[in-house]
Amino acid sequence: QRKIIIDTDPGQDDAVAILLALASPEEIEVLGITAVAGNVPLALTAKNARIVCELAGKPETPVFAGCDSPMKRRLVTAEHVHGKTGLDGPVLSDPTMDLQEMHAVDFIIETLRSEPEGTVTLCPLGPLTNIATAFERAPDVAARVREIVLMGGAYFEVGNITPAAEFNIYVDPEAADIVFKSGAPITVMPLDVTHKALVTKARNDAFRALATPVGVAVAEMTDFFERFDKEKYGSDGAPLHDPCVIAWLLKPELFSGRKINVEIETGSELTLGMTVADWWGVTDRPANALFIGDVDGDGFFALLTERLARL
Ligand code: BDR
Ligand code: CA
């Protein structure tokens, strides 16, 4: 069983990732959920994280609010994809569970210090501000992390917020740079993978057919999220980015990738936040990440649907 902290900016796809983790208690223990500003401002991501815990029937999951803006830049949000609330689509009631008083960064530091070394996995699903702030404030904790499994970046698929950059890395490139240089073992789910995990009509129907509050809400969330990709790109459905992180923990055999060097562009305005991934090994820079390149889409959706049915 893995102990994890989910660091997130929900976001419909973040919400589905949280549901997948909470539906899998045999393999995953969610120590806490830390909210960060990203898709929408912090007040909304901290609220949405609690809405999702309650939807899962797990209001005992501790939720912490973290950083409300990137380390050195102004926040860029993505309401154009996720809607005004960040969780547009289903009608869900406001949470009644409390937000924890502790700051998310303190929770991350304290947890990494109090749990045995090498036992806590960090699962960042948004900009890396909380994680990098923890590593900066407490330089001892990066070495205590078991693994960081994050959604972010792109290589062949390049950018979704600029031509060069993926949203999570673009929003806080300085934070991403700190994390990729931290020495902690990193597994990356870039757009190259998540664009193979598309919610087609049949997959959306399978969520709805669960006929549970969770199944229907996930169908409605992915319906909303899909609208953007279908209208803008004429694609088969929306990429379900963030759940790939949790699916990796549950069934790594669905994925394949390479251990490579990844550097983050923090200087150039044109390519800010680009993940410069040395896929072909053309430099002698040491590998610092397992960069995933492919996923078995049918296997991923079968796993996801089967787990959501348990909630
Ligand atoms: C990432 O950006 C957000 O909009 C999604 O939640 C995902 O984490 C994809 O680029
Ligand atoms: Ca996200």
157 — pLDDT class (breaks 50, 70, 90):
confident
Ligand showing the shortest atom-to-Cα distance for residue 171: 1
Task: Using alpha carbons, select from 150, 16, 170, 19 the residue that is nearest to residue 82.
Answer: 16
CA distance 25 to 75: 34
Q: Residue 186 in 3-state DSSP?
A: strand
CA of 167 from ligand 1 middle (Å) equals 6
What percent of the chain has pLDDT above 70? 100
Lookup: tokens for 229 = 């990709």
CA of 171 from ligand 1 middle (Å) equals 10
More confident site: 166 or 230: 166
Q: Which residues contact 45 (CB under 8 A, 6 or more apart)?
A: 8, 9, 10, 11, 35, 36, 37, 38, 39, 86, 126
Ligand 1, residues at Cβ distance < 6 Å: 11, 13-14, 39, 78, 81, 125-126, 151, 160, 166-168, 241-242
- Give me the mean pLDDT over the 245-252 stretch: 98
Residues noted as catalytic: 241
pLDDT at 206: 97
Beta-bridge mates of residue 287: none
ipTM, two decimals, is 0.99
Atom index in ligand 1 nearest the CA of residue 151 equals 8
Which of 125, 193, 246, 275 maximizes ligand 1 atoms within 8 Å of its Cβ, making it the mutation to test the pocket? Answer: 125
Atom index in ligand 1 nearest the CA of residue 125 equals 8
Atom index in ligand 1 nearest the CA of residue 78 equals 4
pLDDT at 218: 97
CA distance 250 to 213: 23
Lookup: tokens for 284 = 């002698």
CA distance 291 to 256: 9
Average pLDDT over the chain, rounded to whole?
96
pLDDT at 123: 99
**pTM, entire model:** 0.98
Which of 45, 168, 192, 198 maximizes ligand 1 atoms within 8 Å of its Cβ, making it the mutation to test the pocket? Answer: 168
Atom index in ligand 1 nearest the CA of residue 160 equals 10
CA of 116 from ligand 1 middle (Å) equals 31
CA distance 84 to 78: 9
CA of 186 from ligand 1 middle (Å) equals 18
CA distance 12 to 79: 11
Ligand showing the shortest atom-to-Cα distance for residue 244: 1
101 — pLDDT class (breaks 50, 70, 90):
very high
pLDDT at 285: 97
236 — pLDDT class (breaks 50, 70, 90):
confident
Q: Which residues contact 139 (CB under 8 A, 6 or more apart)?
A: none
- Matching residue, tokens 């209001």: 59
Atom index in ligand 1 nearest the CA of residue 14 equals 6
Per-residue pLDDT tens over the stretch 254-264: 999 999 999 99
Which of 6, 13, 191, 222 maximizes ligand 1 atoms within 8 Å of its Cβ, making it the mutation to test the pocket? Answer: 13
- Give me the mean pLDDT over the 18-33 stretch: 98
CA atoms lying within 13 Å on the CB side of residue 38: 37
pLDDT at 229: 72
CA of 169 from ligand 2 middle (Å) equals 11
Ligand showing the shortest atom-to-Cα distance for residue 79: 1
Per-residue pLDDT tens over the stretch 35-80: 999 999 999 999 999 999 999 999 999 999 999 999 999 999 999 9
CA of 283 from ligand 2 middle (Å) equals 31
270 — pLDDT class (breaks 50, 70, 90):
very high
Lookup: tokens for 304 = 């996801």
pLDDT at 208: 97
